[in-house]
Structure 1
Amino acid sequence: MTTIEASAEPDIDFVVVDVETACSRVSSICQIGIVGFRDGREVFAYETLVDPCDEFSPFNTRIHGISGDHVAGQPTYAHIHDIVAGHLTGRVTVAHSYFDKGALAAACRVHDRVAIETTWLDSVRVAKRAWPDLPSHRLNVLTRFLGVRHKHHDALSDARAAGMVIVRAIDHTGIDLAGWLKPTTPKSAPAPKAAADGPLRGQRVAILGAPRNGPLAQWLAQAGARVVASVGTTSTMLVVSRDQPFGRFAHVSAPYRKAEELRTAGIAVDIVAEDELRHRLQDGTVP
């Protein structure tokens, strides 16, 4: 077999890989896309159809549109392994969930190829931490939210989109790539204890877009509020943090929609912006 040299692209920050499979066996890769990023920009792309040496499930074909006819005469994974390994080996490799990691590992075993040595980063985990209040962190939901062009279940487009999730998360949070590679931090400290007295005494307050133990939560607790984990039937207020990631689309978040549903059901839940609430308390207006 011909040996293909590793990618010569210099100074790649990270690469992104996405695969489509022919059937329920994860080794049945029928398309693969790889995109390299440097300084927040795409610097190379690789895509190919792959003969999976396996059957095509009608279910899978309905998802990605690839059938046996499309891969006739295309290389098998064994033939492209060195190309894929050349792009990924020794680099940070992003995948949206670890399905792609498992698929590549399975394909290496089935086709008797050496496992690829790379540092994996799950863009789903990154997205959940960067935008915790999104109702879903599926790739097509994220691209709509972020305004990224995307053709779902096309390997190259999915790889580009997952790469942009990382780029936008770095911009949004200020956490660099090295920071995202660190192990997940331990479970956050509990919410601060409500002061015995204060203008928000008796209020059960959920927060949109800020942690339960952060500065906003501390301020609310000092004002007498009990900071709760989520919007529920006993909640009396949802405070929308000034730092929340949704901007003018905050109303699409799960906590906001839950609060509106409760209000429609006749449960009094006040939805208020952080700055407005601070102004109310400063003026002595009890919410």
Structure 2
Amino acid sequence: MNFVAMDFETANGHRTSACSLALVLVRESKIVESFYTLINPQENFSPRNIQIHHIRPSDVADAPTFDQVWPHIETLYDSSHLVAAHNASFDNSVLKGTLSNYGIYPPKFLTIDTVRTSRKFYPQLPNHKLDTVSQGLNIELNHHHNALADSIACAEILIKTEQQFGADQLKKMVKLTS
């Protein structure tokens, strides 16, 4: 299975406030490459968000804005690529909101949500949060809410699910973003 696992962290409750992004490239069910960047959201940080991900305004002061990051990653977002995220509705809306904030038309791409796949294939878990699913599947997640650690865990969840249940079962859960 080939896909890109994606995770955003945000500065506040707005979907336009991406402050970090990680992408993990999976080819033939193996992680082959990763990308991580801090992002200057040009927005205020919420104390609650800082408490969750530990990214502070001073950390992103010299970071690129998302419109500067986008040209380096946009080729991964088209209808020929599958993008996975744990709670994809959140990460996809952050991508869409952040792009729209810069006047960039959001692309349509194939997406799969590992919260949904986990609910379907691992109903015995007490909940389907990223840390719970990772623990239930014996996947290491040492720095939860670090975008790179979360993207790697998401990728490994989807890889393990494919190994246990098959790619055909997962393909039924792929959607095109709107």
- Shared fold (TM-score, shorter chain, > 0.5): yes
Mapped contact 1:15–1:36 kept (Cα < 8 A): yes
Q: Return the match for 1:157 from 149, 157, 164.
A: 149
Count of matched residue pairs: 171
State whether residues 20 and 32 of structure 1, in contact with CA within 8 Å, keep that contact through their aligned partners in structure 2.
yes
> What residue in structure 2 maps to residue 166 of structure 1?
158
In structure 2, the partner of 1:53 is 42
CA distance in structure 2 between the partners assigned to 1:30 and 1:181 by the alignment? 31
RMSD: 1.5
How far off is 1:122 after superposition? 0.5
- Residue 79 (structure 1) aligns with: 68
Moved over 6 A (4+): none
TM-score of the pair, normalised by structure 1 = 0.57
Tell me how far apart the structure 2 counterparts of residues 40 and 17 of structure 1 sit (CA, whole Å): 16
The equivalent position to 2:171 in structure 1, one of 163, 181, 198, is: 181
Amino acid at match of 2:32: V
Q: Is the 8 A contact 2:117 2:173 kept in 1?
A: no
- Between stretches 111-120 and 82-91, larger displacement belongs to 82-91
- The residue aligned with 2:135 is 144
Query: Structure 2: which amino acid aligns with 1:142?
Result: V
| Shift, 1:183, TM fit | 5.0
Normalised by the size of structure 2, how large is the TM-score?
Answer: 0.91
2:97 maps to 106
Q: How does 1:221-236 map to 2 (within 5 A)?
A: none
2:30 to 41, 58, 71: 41
- Note if 1:30 corresponds to 2:19: yes
Q: Is the 8 A contact 1:15 1:88 kept in 2?
A: no
Point out the structure with the larger helix share. Answer: 2
Letter in 2 for 1:93: V
1:171 match: secondary structure: helix
Distance 2:173 2:117 in 1: 11
1:96/1:139 contact within 8 Å kept: yes
The 2-side partners of 1:79 and 1:116 are apart by 17
What percent identity do the matched residue pairs reach?
A: 27
Rg comparison, structure with higher value: 1
Equivalent AA in structure 1 for residue 84 of structure 2: V
Q: Counterparts of 2:69 and 2:108 in 1: how far apart (Å)?
A: 16
2:112–2:173 contact (8 Å) kept in structure 1:
no
Q: Deviations over 1:162-200 (max 9, x none)?
A: 011111111122x20x4313259xxxxxxxxxxxxxxxx
Q: Bigger relative contact order, structure 1 or 2, given CA contacts below 8 A and separation 6+?
A: 2
